[in-house]
Structure 1
Amino acid sequence: MSVAEEFGAFLASEVPGFRERWDDISEWAARVDWQRTLNTGRWAAPAWPEEHGGRGLEPHEVVVVEEMLAAEGFPIIAGVLGINNVGPTLIAWGNEEQQSHLPAILSGDEMWCQGFSEPNAGSDLASLRTKAVRDGAHFVVNGQKIWTSNGTHATHMELLVRTDPQAAKHKGISALTVDLSTPGIDIRPIRQINGEEGFAEVFFTDVLVPVENLLGPENQGWRVTMTTLGHERSAIAALARRQHGDVVALVHDRLATTTAPSLRDELVRRYIETFVAANMGEQMLARVAEGEQPGAEQTVIKLLWSETGQRVDETRLALAGVNGVLGRDPDPVKQYLTGRALTIAGGTTQVLKNIMAERVLGLPKE
Structure 2
Amino acid sequence: MRLAWDPTDEAFREELRAFINAHCPPQARVGKDFLGGDDEIIPDWAREWQATLFDHGWMIPGYPPELGGRNATPVQTLIYLEELARQGIPRSVHFGGYAIVGPSLLEFGNDEQKAMAPAAIRGDTVWCVGMSEPDAGSDLANLQTRAVLDGDSFIVNGQKVWTSYATVAQKCFCYVRTNPNVPKHKGISVLIIDLDTPGVDVRPLRQISGGSEFAEVFFTDVVVPASNLVGELDNGWRITMGSLAHERGGLWVEGVFGCQRAVEGLVALAERRGLAGDPAVRRRLAAAYERVASLKALGYKGFAGFAQGSSAPEHSYMKLATAELRRELFELGMDLLGPYGAVVEPAFTEERARWQQGFFVGLAANIGGGTSEIQRNTVATRVLGLPKS
| TM-score normalised to structure 1 length | 0.89
CA distance in 2, matches of 1:150, 1:275: 34
Residue 10 of structure 1 is aligned with which of 12, 19, 35?
A: 19
Would you say the 8 A contact 2:148–2:178 is kept in 1? Answer: yes
Would you say the 8 A contact 1:310–1:336 is kept in 2? Answer: yes
1:348 paired residue number? 371
1:35 Cα offset (Å) = 2.0
Cα deviations by residue, 1:245-283 (Å, 9 ceiling, x for unpaired): 424643674576552333333332222222222332333
1:304 paired residue number? 321
Letter in 1 for 2:243: T
Q: 2:333 aligned with 1:316, yes or no?
A: yes
1:212 Cα offset (Å) = 1.6
Would you say the 8 A contact 2:62–2:71 is kept in 1? Answer: yes
User: Any stretches of 5+ residues in structure 1 without a counterpart?
Assistant: none
Q: Which moved more, 1:164-173 or 1:273-282?
A: 273-282
> Judging changes above 3 Å, is the alpha-carbon distance between structure 1 residues 158 and 134 closer, same or farther for their aligned structure 2 residues?
same
User: Any stretches of 5+ residues in structure 2 without a counterpart?
Assistant: 1-7
> Judging changes above 3 Å, is the alpha-carbon distance between structure 1 residues 74 and 20 closer, same or farther for their aligned structure 2 residues?
closer
Would you say the 8 A contact 2:98–2:122 is kept in 1? Answer: no
> Judging changes above 3 Å, is the alpha-carbon distance between structure 1 residues 116 and 69 closer, same or farther for their aligned structure 2 residues?
same
Residue 270 of structure 1 is aligned with which of 266, 280, 288?
A: 288
Q: How many residues align?
A: 363
Would you say the 8 A contact 1:263–1:315 is kept in 2? Answer: no
CA distance in 2, matches of 1:261, 1:311: 19
Letter in 2 for 1:280: L
Letter in 1 for 2:26: R
Would you say the 8 A contact 2:167–2:202 is kept in 1? Answer: yes
CA distance in 1, matches of 2:18, 2:364: 35
Q: 2:346 aligned with 1:337, yes or no?
A: no
> Judging changes above 3 Å, is the alpha-carbon distance between structure 1 residues 11 and 62 closer, same or farther for their aligned structure 2 residues?
same
CA distance in 2, matches of 1:222, 1:21: 36
Would you say the 8 A contact 2:31–2:88 is kept in 1? Answer: no
CA distance in 1, matches of 2:304, 2:168: 34
Letter in 1 for 2:188: I
Residue 165 of structure 2 is aligned with which of 146, 150, 154?
A: 150
2:224 paired residue number? 209
2:342 paired residue number? 325
Cα deviations by residue, 1:189-246 (Å, 9 ceiling, x for unpaired): 1111111111111111111111121111111100111111111222222323432442
CA distance in 2, matches of 1:21, 1:272: 29
Q: Which moved more, 1:85-94 or 1:101-110?
A: 101-110
Q: 2:285 aligned with 1:285, yes or no?
A: no
1:67 paired residue number? 82
Q: Which moved more, 1:218-227 or 1:238-247?
A: 238-247
CA distance in 1, matches of 2:69, 2:63: 4
CA distance in 1, matches of 2:112, 2:102: 13
Would you say the 8 A contact 1:313–1:336 is kept in 2? Answer: yes
Q: 2:279 aligned with 1:261, yes or no?
A: yes
Equivalent position SS for 2:166: coil
1:325 Cα offset (Å) = 2.7
Would you say the 8 A contact 1:243–1:274 is kept in 2? Answer: no
Q: Calculate percent identity across the aligned residue pairs.
A: 39
Residue 99 of structure 1 is aligned with which of 104, 111, 114?
A: 114
> Judging changes above 3 Å, is the alpha-carbon distance between structure 1 residues 75 and 187 closer, same or farther for their aligned structure 2 residues?
same
CA distance in 1, matches of 2:158, 2:98: 26
Would you say the 8 A contact 1:60–1:282 is kept in 2? Answer: no
CA distance in 2, matches of 1:338, 1:321: 20
1:324 Cα offset (Å) = 4.1
Cα deviations by residue, 1:289-346 (Å, 9 ceiling, x for unpaired): 3333444x33311210211121122233334444443232322221111111011112
Would you say the 8 A contact 1:84–1:235 is kept in 2? Answer: no
Letter in 2 for 1:11: I
Would you say the 8 A contact 1:133–1:141 is kept in 2? Answer: yes
1:24 Cα offset (Å) = 10
Letter in 2 for 1:141: V
Would you say the 8 A contact 1:317–1:325 is kept in 2? Answer: yes
Q: How does 1:77-226 map to 2 (within 5 A)?
A: 77-226=92-241
1:129 Cα offset (Å) = 0.9
Cα deviations by residue, 1:153-182 (Å, 9 ceiling, x for unpaired): 322221111111111111111111222222
Would you say the 8 A contact 1:63–1:241 is kept in 2? Answer: no
Letter in 1 for 2:153: H
Q: How does 1:12-27 map to 2 (within 5 A)?
A: 12-15=21-24, 18-19=25-26, 27=38
Equivalent position SS for 2:180: coil
Q: Could you say what the CA RMSD is over the residues aligned between the two structures, in angstroms?
A: 2.6
CA distance in 2, matches of 1:267, 1:59: 33
Would you say the 8 A contact 2:138–2:370 is kept in 1? Answer: yes
Letter in 2 for 1:82: G
| TM-score normalised to structure 2 length | 0.84
